[in-house]
Amino acid sequence: MSEHPLSAIPEIRKLWRCDTPDVAEHLLRLDPHTRRSRFGAVVKDDFIEQYAEGIIAFDTVVFGAFFDGQLRAIGELRGMPQSWPRHAELSLSVEPDWQGKGIGSTLFSRLIEASQNRGIRSLHVLFLSENKKMQSIAGKYHPETNLNDGQIEAALEPPWATPMSFAREMLADANACIRRCLLVAT
């Protein structure tokens, strides 16, 4: 495990279609254990590449955590089509060297707020029962949990949207856009 400065603060922003290559690179850097934890099964590189191609979609909000311009973690909020009240699935992946630094918790929180602002009434998180880190992150939100065949399904209800929740998301998006423009300009 490599050392990273404790003061390193990630740039967390929504991912765009142009970030697809970064998503693929991030997912390909996951070790076999982390891949299995993220996808619930052993997956090969060609699956990862196909998955990355389809990750940015109309019913998905994806946040990325960047350190020194390199994507190290992603959080996905994927809508469940044709559900009412609206449901969505939440998932995270954090590269092994970057785990245990609060990145997953931060992404989870951002995804909760994104679901709140989109009128999602029920969030589902599916993870392996051995994934203690995900249990800890989800547990902070007091979900209802069910254990089935070695997997835990955690379900929680996001709070209703508020003017402040909308403002926080819009401000974060504007800040990310400005940072991106400044990077391109230099």
Is position 4 within any domain? no
What is the reported pLDDT for 1?
44
Q: Quick check: 51 pLDDT over 50?
A: yes
* Number of structural domains found in the chain: 1
Tokens for 32?
A: 């076999």
Mean pLDDT, the chain, integer: 90
5 in a structural domain: no
Domain of residue 126: give its range: 11-185
Does the residue 6 lie in any domain? Answer: no
CA distance 87 to 65: 24
Q: Quick check: is 167 in a domain?
A: yes
What the block records as the tokens of 68 is 């020194």
pLDDT band at 180 (very low <50, low <70, confident <90, very high): confident
Strand-pair partners of 94: 73
Q: How far is Cα 23 from Cα 29, in angstroms, rounded to an integer?
A: 10
Q: What is the pLDDT of residue 6?
A: 46
pLDDT tens digits, 88-137: 999 999 999 999 999 999 999 999 999 999 999 999 999 999 999 999 99
CA dist 136 → 4, 12, 63, 87, 139 (Å)? 22, 21, 20, 22, 5
Encode pLDDT of 134-158 as tens digits. Answer: 999 999 999 999 999 889 999 999 9
Asked if residue 28 is part of any domain, the answer here is: yes
2 part of a folded domain:
no
Q: What CATH number did the domain enclosing 31 receive?
A: 3.40.630.30
Q: Kindly state the DSSP code that residue 19 receives in the 8-state scheme.
A: G
Assign 90 to helix, strand or coil: strand
